[in-house]
């Protein structure tokens, strides 16, 4: 072989290439050395062997002799793990081949049954209404055995979309024998589960909005409204404030063409409520919808104005800056705790024409009256600000809505009575709520139109949806078209309602106020001639009885009681 037996032991590995064919492994002796026959020589076509240099010094043969006992044990275990991994690889390859063969077979079947399969898909795509038994079973199982995981929202969402498609083209897509009410009941149930609303509130919202708009409204309530600020023009200009905030790393834009003072904040590297500009009173953190009532009120300089429910003071300070700190503003609120924030904001913003009072708004005409304008931002259920307070979704019921509506009716009458109709520049009342319920808005406004000498006038806002003149079985005054509604999904601001009244007489209508009880209801049902005859008969009887002396009157009543026929 070209070398002697003496040096064959350490030269042989340098000429050999270590190969490990599939299924074979290197055999080690008890002392860790490689046994003879475990190396294979790879020869070229001409019979000469390839030489591989293990390292630059040719000293690779003595590496195994220098190994520690623990390293030798590791070498013994390594070939066994390699054998196991090779067997696993072979099994995986066999499984992949079987899977490919099965998929090819299925593809062949699909190609043969193409038309039938497509027909089945079309049938499955149609929305099928679950039976009442299935729905009851789901409810019972959910109550008795609550699932460990919440329901699959993706499945519910797909069912909502399928149901909506059927309801939009109900005559064509509905199942035979199924009514529209069944589809609506399932839709309400699914929406309540998907968006986490109470059944009561969702029913109310379904009465207000058409179905496609309802989904947009519910989706908009899941997203917070943009952060907006109002420039305090008593201390700075909007352009200067915007430049100062941009220099501090605030990304902002003007709020819109309708506002000269508003700015919308997209993002900021500094807290908006703690900048030096904020602390100096250059701006107020205020929602876009809260600017609208003051713009509708349109206060003039040197007027006397009442803000009946003023906390936390955003609208009051906006009124002051429009009046340029002239005239007088009475900022009232029934909560002493909330008035602390009002006082702090008025001081910070530099308002000097405001007087703060803590009174019940319902007692206000007795406390002070004769105002030129009154702003009533009435307490409400908060159904327009669900994105700020998600608890409204579940914690409101019928009694809460009616309780709010009753309080609002009392407050609006007090607000109207506090205004002087003979004011040269004013005589206006603005009523607003952050609710979208008809019971708290159009219903209250219609009540005020009947009870006081006021009429509705345009709000002066060139956007927003018109108020309802009819809702379900109720009919309101036609002038309610001049009221305005604002929604999160259409105007990207909190839900809001605004109505503007003009008072034309300080007198309180007595005819509407006097008739109460069942007698008034009976008289309303009678036709006009019969009503006149009834009043004349009652008047003549009363005059006759007054002329008779007291003993004769008693005797007459006794005789009338005796003559009265006995009822069967």
pLDDT of residue 289: 93
> Was 309 annotated as part of a binding site?
yes
Segment 289-332, tens digit of pLDDT: 999 999 999 999 999 999 999 989 999 999 999 999 999 999 99
Structure tokens at 395: 């914690």
Annotated ligand binding at 21? The verdict is no
- Kind and range of the H or E element at 231? strand 227-231
End-to-end CA distance of the chain: 143
CA dihedral 37, 40, 45, 50 (to 10 degrees): -120
Using DSSP, how many helices (H) and how many strands (E) does the chain show? Answer: 23, 15
Q: What is the pLDDT of residue 168?
A: 79
What pLDDT does 129 receive? 62
Print burial letters for 330-352: b (CB count within 10 Å at least 16), e (below 16).
bbbbbeeeebeebeebbebbbbe
Q: Residue 91 has what pLDDT?
A: 65
The count of other CB atoms within 10 Å of the CB of residue 479 is 16
Of 182, 153, 157, which Cα lies nearest the Cα of 167? 182
d(C-alpha 452, C-alpha 419), whole Å: 12
pTM (2 d.p.): 0.67
Token pair 């340029």 in the structure block, residue: 324
Active-site amino acid positions: 434
Contacts of 295 (CB under 8 A, 6+ apart): 258, 259, 460, 461
pLDDT average per 10 residues of sequence, the chain (568 residues)? 50 47 47 46 45 46 60 68 60 66 54 45 52 56 49 78 79 74 86 90 93 92 94 96 95 93 94 94 95 96 95 94 96 94 96 95 87 95 93 92 95 95 92 95 95 95 93 92 95 95 90 46 46 48 51 61 50
The rounded distance, in Å, linking the Cα atoms of 509 and 408 is: 20
pLDDT of residue 140: 52
Extract the tokens encoding 73: 């044990």
Give the per-residue pLDDT at 22.
46
User: Does the annotation flag 333 for ligand binding?
Assistant: yes
- Tell me: is residue 315 an annotated ligand-binding position: yes
pLDDT, residue 84, reads 58
| Tokens encoding 308 | 């009946």
Radius of gyration of the chain (CA): 43
pLDDT (0 to 100) of residue 236: 96
- pLDDT score, position 23: 46
DSSP 401-459: HHHHHHHHHHHHHHHHHTB-TT-SS--EEEEEES---GGGTHHHHHHHHHHSSEEEE--
| Residue located via tokens 């919308």 | 264
Check the annotation: does 207 bind a ligand.
no
For the stretch 423-455, pLDDT in tens is 998 899 999 999 999 999 999 999 999 999 999
């Amino acid at each position: 072989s070209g070398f002697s037996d003496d040096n064959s032991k350490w030269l042989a590995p340098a000429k050999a290439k270590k190969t490990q064919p599939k299924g074979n492994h290197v055999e080690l002796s008890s002392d860790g050395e490689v046994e003879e026959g475990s190396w294979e020589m790879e020869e070229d076509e001409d019979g000469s062997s390839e030489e591989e240099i293990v390292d630059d010094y040719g000293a690779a043969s003595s590496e195994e002799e220098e190994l520690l006992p623990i390293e030798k044990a590791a070498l013994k275990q390594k070939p066994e793990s390699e054998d196991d991994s090779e067997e696993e690889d072979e099994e995986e390859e066999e499984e992949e081949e079987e899977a490919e063969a099965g998929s090819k077979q299925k593809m062949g079947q699909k190609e043969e049954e193409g038309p039938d399969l497509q027909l089945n898909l079309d049938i499955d795509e149609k929305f099928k209404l679950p039976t009442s038994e299935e729905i009851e079973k789901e409810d019972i199982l959910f109550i008795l055995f609550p699932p460990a995981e919440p329901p699959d929202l993706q499945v519910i969402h797909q069912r909502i979309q399928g149901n909506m498609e059927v309801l939009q083209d109900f005559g064509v897509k509905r199942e035979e024998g199924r009514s529209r009410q069944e589809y609506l009941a399932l839709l309400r149930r699914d929406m309540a589960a998907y968006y986490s609303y109470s059944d009561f509130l969702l029913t109310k919202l379904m009465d207000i909005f058409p179905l496609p708009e309802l989904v947009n409204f519910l989706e908009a309530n899941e997203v917070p409204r943009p952060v907006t600020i109002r420039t305090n023009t008593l201390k700075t200009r909007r352009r200067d404030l915007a430049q100062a905030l941009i220099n501090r790393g605030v990304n902002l834009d003007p709020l819109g063409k309708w506002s000269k003072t508003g700015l919308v904040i997209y993002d900021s590297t500094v807290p908006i409520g703690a900048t030096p500009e904020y602390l100096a009173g250059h701006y107020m953190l205020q929602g876009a919808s809260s600017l609208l009532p003051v713009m509708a009120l349109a206060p003039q300089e040197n007027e006397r104005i009442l803000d009946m429910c003023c906390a936390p003071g955003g609208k009051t300070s906006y009124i002051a800056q429009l009046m340029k700190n002239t005239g007088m503003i009475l900022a009232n609120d029934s909560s002493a705790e909330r008035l602390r924030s009002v006082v702090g904001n008025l001081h910070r913003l530099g308002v000097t024409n405001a007087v703060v009072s803590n009174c019940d708004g319902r007692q206000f005409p007795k406390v002070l009256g004769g105002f030129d304008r009154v702003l009533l931002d009435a307490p409400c259920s908060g159904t327009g600000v669900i994105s700020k307070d998600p608890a409204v979704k579940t914690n409101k019921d019928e009694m809460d809505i009616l309780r709010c509506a009753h309080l609002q009716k009392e407050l609006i009458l007090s607000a109207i009575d506090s205004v002087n109709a003979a004011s040269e520049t004013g005589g206006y009342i603005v009523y607003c709520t952050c609710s979208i319920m008809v019971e708290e808005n159009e219903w209250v406004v219609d009540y005020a139109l009947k009870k006081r000498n006021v009429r509705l006038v345009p709000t002066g806002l060139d956007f927003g949806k018109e108020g309802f003149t009819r809702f379900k079985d109720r009919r309101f005054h036609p002038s309610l078209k001049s009221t305005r509604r604002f929604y999160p999904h259409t105007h990207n601001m909190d839900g809001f309602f605004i109505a503007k009244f003009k008072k034309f007489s300080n007198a309180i209508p007595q005819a509407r106020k006097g008739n109460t009880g069942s007698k008034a209801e009976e008289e309303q049902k009678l036709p006009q001639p019969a009503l006149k005859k009834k009043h004349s008969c009652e008047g003549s009887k009363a005059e006759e009885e007054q002329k008779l002396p007291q003993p004769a009157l008693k005797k007459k009543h006794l005789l009338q009681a005796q003559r009265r026929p006995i009822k069967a």
